[in-house]
């Protein structure tokens, strides 16, 4: 079984709709992240959480919100989807050990906003 | 400011030829450096990482990278390309901020094409 899972894997929605992307992990990591990937832009950080009570904005948080329901779950919401939020979204987890942090990624959610 | 630059958004090599994917970073202190690979329709998978132990780092699938502080580079190489190496490769850097937290920055990616 995958350590980091994302649901749904694919989603088509209409402009103005609210949608939620979910991420679960079995790695026992405290840190979780949401990124979006766009062609030619690499990965850009949307939000991150270092533990259940800690939520931080990334470089492109506008139009998004998150919820850290438990150590293992970190959800990303688009309150009112718009077409330029069409992208591939990745969840990642990490554990900071001895000053070293490696991130582990889920399989991604491909979102199309019409 | 911390940044990662990957030279060449697309690289094509012939099967059996050397693979060289370039990554340069800027960081005020020696960072941790990573290479990830993304196969079509999949998430990112860690290839290798530099954590100050050895400057030449060996990863999975025959890839390796060398940390060169004087050149602020962490180029990824493989002696002989295989068709299955076709994917997108991302360089990433992580270093400690003044606040004590760590910041993780990805490059924009290099898509590797392997020609038969």
Token reading at A35? 């990124």
- Which residues of chain A does B107 touch, with a Cβ-Cβ cutoff of 8 Å? 42
Q: Each residue's pLDDT tens digit in chain A (114 positions)? A: 569 999 999 999 999 999 999 999 999 999 999 999 998 888 999 999 988 999 999 889 999 999 999 999 999 999 999 999 999 999 999 987 766 778 899 999 999 999
State the nearest Cα–Cα gap between A72 and chain B, in angstroms: 18
Q: CA A46 to CA A76: how far, in whole Å?
A: 9
Intervals of chain B under pLDDT 50: none
Q: Which of A55, A56, A44, A54 is nearest to A89 (CA)?
A: A44
> In this predicted model, what pLDDT tens digit does every residue of B28-53 receive, in sequence order?
666 789 999 999 888 899 999 988 77
> In this predicted model, what pLDDT tens digit does every residue of A84-103 receive, in sequence order?
999 999 999 998 776 677 88
Q: Identify the pLDDT of residue A75.
A: 98
In a mutational test of the B interface, the residue from A49, A95, A102 whose CB has the highest number of chain B CBs within 10 Å is A102
Q: CA A95 to CA A15: how far, in whole Å?
A: 36
Q: CA A35 to CA A43: how far, in whole Å?
A: 6
Token reading at B45? 């998978």
């Amino acid at each position: 079984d995958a350590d980091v899972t994302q649901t749904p894997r694919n989603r088509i929605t209409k402009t103005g709709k609210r949608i939620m992307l979910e991420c679960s992990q079995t790695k026992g990591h405290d840190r979780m992240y949401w990124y979006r990937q766009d062609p030619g832009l690499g990965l850009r950080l949307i939000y991150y959480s270092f533990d259940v009570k800690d939520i931080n904005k990334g470089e492109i948080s506008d139009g998004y919100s998150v919820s850290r329901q438990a150590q293992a779950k970190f959800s990303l919401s688009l309150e009112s989807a718009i077409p330029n939020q069409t992208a591939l979204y990745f969840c990642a987890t990490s554990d900071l050990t001895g000053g070293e942090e490696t991130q582990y990624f889920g399989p991604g959610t491909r979102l199309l906003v019409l | 400011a911390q940044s990662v630059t990957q030279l060449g958004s697309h690289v094509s090599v012939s099967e059996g030829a050397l693979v060289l994917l370039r990554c340069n970073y800027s960081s005020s202190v020696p960072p941790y450096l990573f290479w990830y690979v993304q196969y079509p329709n999949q998430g990112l998978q860690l290839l290798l990482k530099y954590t100050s132990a050895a400057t030449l780092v060996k990863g999975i699938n025959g890839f390796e990278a060398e940390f060169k502080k004087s050149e602020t580079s962490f180029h990824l190489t493989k002696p002989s390309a295989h068709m299955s190496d076709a994917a997108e490769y991302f360089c990433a850097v992580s270093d400690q901020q003044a606040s004590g937290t760590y910041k993780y920055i990805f490059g924009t990616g290099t898509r590797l094409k392997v020609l038969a």
